[in-house]
Amino acid sequence: MSGTLSAPVQSFDNLCHALSILCESTTLVELFEHLTETLYELSGRQPVALYRRLNTGNLRLACCYPLESKLASQTALLTIRSLDELAASELQYYELKGEHQIWGYIGHLPSTYSEPIHWIRLLIDIAAQRLRLLKAERMAVRQLGLKTRRQLLSKDIKRLSSIDDILQHHGHSWCEIFQADGIALAYHAELYFYGECPTQYSLFQQLLNLNNHRVVDDIIELDGDCQGGVAVQLSLATTSLGWLILFRRQPLVCSSAVDIATPTSFSYWMPLEAPTIVELADDLTIAITALDVVHLNRQLTKTNQRLEGLVHTDPLTQCWNRYYTELVIEHLCSSGGEYAVLMFDLDNFKQINDAYGHAVGDEILRQVVPIAQRSIRNNDHLGRWGGEEFIIIAKGLSQEDGWHLANRLCDNVAQHTFPIPATVTISVGVTTMQPNDTPLVLLERTDKGMYCAKNAGKNQVILC
């Protein structure tokens, strides 16, 4: 390691050099390596371990020195889980203070080489100050990164369709911000992944424990098959919606420092990372909630459109129903202008139902609609008036134009092959809007024309 100590710290100059190296540390791992190595020299080359203190009071191994395999035999260093165990051990240990409380402890085996105790305390005080500075710097960088991603995420919500979309679009940036290798999201009993994560089975087992766990810490470091993971709740008000879990493959302590059979819980995450991880969880909670709202709004829009269609559409023929047709006629009567109204009825429809059944009769009604739609213009209105009666409203047509339209419709229906051997025909009454016409008067006149066409022999058009 560049700039590290190569001999015991036996002079003030050597100590100053060691402290300057400590003060130049740019990362937590680098700081801890310098701190443990310097204490190793000060303690007469006794193995050193650094433990961080959890909010629960438990301890986790954060770093150790030296990194030779022989350290695996020092179970007194590697298996400590609590302050009580540390105090009961033979280790000499010192507090490493944070901003408001004890951050952790650093200890070594009993020393055979004695340096002035104030040198060691000075070393640890300098390390604590550097730790706080690095924490502030890291927090500032991460908060800036999160702010940028938060703005991008808020812009993306309307175009992203799922939680998986959110992770695929933003997961890489979040992994970079937190130096993570993978992200898992548990939301409403579903799991979503980005990057490198443990198996689903391992995660489900951890989630069972988390959901039964009374949350004390802001974040919870995972053990077992999910070691390297840190979990924080996704919560809205007092309701828990799920969990955000970030994963790292490498602990702060070098994996070659211990025998893999040693039951040691390594530290993959630092307490100073908790606030920004909680910030990310809050961002994701808001984003997922917003996504749910967007999804619900889309569903509501579709439902409203479907309901509107049901209100205005005849369920059998899928053309406009009588209710909507009456609204169109009322609007045209109040607005004035020229338009033709055609009312037509299928001839002998009762006999068709009696002879072939209502299912065949319904099919004939359904087939009449596309025939009529091909006969009229795109902006003309076709509605089912009731039973086998239909109305066409053609805006801008004169009486002569309406006459031609009605005859074309009669021919098209008569020439169509329906699912019965007999020919199906229609009778049509045609009228145009007259001054002072009300909807009732207009419809009565059109209805009269249609019945006149039936009485005149059917399959024909009558103007009225």
Give me the DSSP letters along 253-268: S-GGGS-TTS---B--
- Identify the CA nearest to 350 among candidates 462, 464, 454: 454
Residue written as token pair 């960088």: 141
Token output for 24: 């130049």
- Identify the CA nearest to 262 among candidates 98, 59, 65, 77: 77
Three-state DSSP class for 52? Answer: strand
- Alpha-carbon distance 321 to 108, whole Å? 88
- Alpha-carbon distance 167 to 147, whole Å? 17
Three-state DSSP class for 50? Answer: strand
Q: Contact, 384 vs 321, CB < 8 A?
A: yes
Overall residue count recorded for the chain in this entry:
464
Beta bridge pairs of residue 182: 195, 247
Buried residues in 98-130 as b, exposed as e (16+ CB within 10 A): beeeebbbbbbbeeeeebeeebbeebbebbbeb
457: left (phi over 0), alpha (psi -120 to 50) or beta: left
- Alpha-carbon distance 177 to 65, whole Å? 28
Q: At CA 146, angle to CA 235 and CA 286, rounded to 5? A: 30
Token output for 258: 């211990």
383: left (phi over 0), alpha (psi -120 to 50) or beta: beta
One-letter amino acid at 293 equals V
Q: What are phi and psi of 61, to 5 degrees?
A: -70, 120
- Alpha-carbon distance 164 to 108, whole Å? 47
**Alpha-carbon distance values, 411 to 149, 193, 311, 345 (Å):** 66, 64, 32, 14
Q: What are phi and psi of 358, to 5 degrees?
A: -70, -30
- Alpha-carbon distance 18 to 21, whole Å? 5
Q: What are phi and psi of 294, to 5 degrees?
A: -60, -45
Q: Contact, 412 vs 392, CB < 8 A?
A: no
- Alpha-carbon distance 58 to 384, whole Å? 77
Task: Write out the chain's pLDDT in tens, 464 residues.
Answer: 333 433 445 566 677 777 888 888 888 888 888 888 888 888 888 888 888 887 777 888 888 888 654 555 567 777 888 899 998 888 889 998 876 678 889 988 887 655 567 788 888 888 888 888 887 787 787 778 878 888 887 777 777 778 888 899 898 999 998 889 999 999 887 899 999 999 988 888 888 888 876 655 567 888 888 888 989 988 887 778 889 999 988 776 554 444 444 445 667 887 778 888 888 888 888 888 888 887 788 788 887 777 777 788 999 999 999 999 999 999 888 887 889 999 999 999 999 999 999 999 999 999 999 999 999 999 999 999 999 999 999 999 999 999 999 999 999 999 999 999 999 999 999 999 988 889 999 999 999 999 999 999 999 999 98
